[in-house]
Amino acid sequence: MIKITKFGGSSVANAEQFRKVKAIIEADPSRRFVVVSAAGKACKEDNKITDLLYLCHAHVQYHVDYHGIFDIIRKRFLDIRDELGLSLDLEKELDELDRSIPGLSVDELVSRGEYFTSLMMADFLHFPFVDAADVIKINFDGSIDFDSTDENLKFIMKDHDRFVLPGFYGSSPDGSIKVMSRGGSDITGSILAKCLKADLYENWTDVSGFLMADPRIVKDPPGIEMITYAELRELSYMGASVLHEDAVFPVKEANIPINILNTNHPEDKGTIILDTIPPEARDMAITGITGKKGFCALYITKRHMPESVGFCRRILSVFEKYGISVEHLPTGIDSIGMIVQEKYVHNCLYDIIAEIKEKAEPDDIKYIPNLALIATVGRNMSNRIGTSGKLFTALGKSDVNVRIMIQAFNEINILVGVDESDMEKGIRAIYDAFVKDR
Ligand code: ASP
């Protein structure tokens, strides 16, 4: 049995958290491959080491002295080491790093958060340390070179049957350090799980898995015990963030389950993410509800739109030219809506409208701001007659005006577009109908 165990920043924020990690590793001999994030926040007032390293880099860029920031980073690491009674000589490496900061690439500098945290974790667990730069190979376009990574791992496994590996970074074909996007240690864990053909990928964080809804919006929502990758994708795209979105792909292909677990409450079952879930006893139609604000729409009308072949393509080509992804396209007979994220269009809105007018010659274009989308997600919704009826009845009874509605053919997500000011009310109405008053 092989388990990949990945610990997020809050799980390694200080010496006390390191001790919890050790207890978790020692409780199960199959936890032999450990991926570690950079020390993060143990409480609200803490700083993430990665943020501080980015800040150091910004200081260098603007020719401002970075030593004050670096001293905070140094102290965080040395405090953890000293409190754990480790004998690692970190001072030499930290001094060396301090001196070399002005000449380092931003990627190399910020990767040191994971590097030092993992060095200490390896020493504390008495596991070998393996540098991610020697294992995880990242192509120049940011994709993972799985063949080379696989080969490197095979080589390392000849000598090691366990190790600690820093998350978040790897190396480019030219050998330089390259980091992933923020939260990328989740991806490192997933790559390792795939390459080592793990039975389970445990992702330890500071929450006991996913909740059915945002606890800031509904009171005490229950946890989600099991969720499919497809459902998770729908929920995380809309903002339910516990796991990095890209962490799903490597393990999904290999059909390896991910278990989201809580370092502070290791006894909790957390959430299991799987490709397919056998029909379970629990007969809940929905798995989760989430909402996201910050959308807007261009609502375009043209008489006899269905006969004007190429109309949609001409409009879409304008968005493509500006590098803007159109997220949804609800249509009427003679109209079409282009739903996009407001942050991507607000600097070029008038240019886009002008070009659409020129290229597609519509009769009218209206800009509709301040939209929110509510996603109600559940594998059990598919083929269950009455689900959307119940959902829209709940919204109607709560006086929420539905501006658009979208359901794809897989029937696992019903999206409704509402005014931003109605989002929380809408989520509560759906939650009450499907979960609370069921
Ligand atoms: N330390 C990096 C970040 O803060 C990567 C990670 O924690 O997964 O984004």
> What range does the domain containing 134 cover?
3-206
Q: Which of 159, 175, 206 is the last residue of a domain?
A: 206
Q: Which of 171, 206, 241 is the last residue of a domain?
A: 206
With tokens 């005490």, the residue in question is: 220
Residue 343: inside a domain, yes or no? yes
- The model's pTM: 0.84
Ligand 1 atom 6: residue of nearest CA? 183
Same domain? 299 vs 158? no
Handedness of CA 406, 408, 410, 415 (dihedral sign): negative
Cβ 189 under 6 angstroms from ligand 1: no
Same domain? 89 vs 197? yes
42 alpha carbon – ligand 1 mean position (Å): 14
Domain count, the chain: 2
Ligand 1 atom 5: residue of nearest CA? 183
Residue 277: inside a domain, yes or no? no
Cβ 181 under 6 angstroms from ligand 1: no
Residue 98: inside a domain, yes or no? yes
Same domain? 293 vs 198? no
Residue 422: inside a domain, yes or no? yes
Residue 12: inside a domain, yes or no? yes
125 alpha carbon – ligand 1 mean position (Å): 21
Same domain? 178 vs 296? no
Residue 220: inside a domain, yes or no? no
Q: pLDDT tens track of the chain, all 438 residues? A: 999 999 999 999 999 999 999 999 999 999 999 999 999 997 888 899 999 999 999 999 999 999 999 999 999 999 999 999 999 999 999 999 999 999 999 999 999 999 999 999 999 999 999 999 999 999 999 999 999 999 999 999 999 999 999 999 999 999 999 999 999 999 999 999 999 999 999 999 998 999 999 989 999 999 999 999 889 888 877 766 778 888 888 998 888 999 999 999 999 999 999 988 877 655 678 999 999 999 999 999 999 888 888 989 999 999 999 999 999 998 889 999 999 999 999 899 999 999 999 999 999 999 999 999 999 999 888 878 889 999 999 999 999 999 999 988 888 899 999 999 999 999 999 999 999 877
- Probe residue for ligand 1, chosen from 12, 118, 168 as the CB with the greatest number of ligand atoms within 8 Å: 168
Contact 370, 343 (CB under 8 A): no
Ligand 1 atom 8: residue of nearest CA? 183
Residue 358: inside a domain, yes or no? yes
| 156-177 residues labelled b (16+ CB within 10 A) or e (exposed) | eeeeeebbbbbbbbbbbeeeeb
- Probe residue for ligand 1, chosen from 48, 76, 112, 243 as the CB with the greatest number of ligand atoms within 8 Å: 48
**DSSP letters for 352-385:** HHHHHHHHH--SEEEEEEEEEEEEEE-GGGTT-T
Q: Which of 154, 186, 206 is the last residue of a domain?
A: 206
CATH, residue 373: 3.30.2130.10
CATH, residue 201: 3.40.1160.10
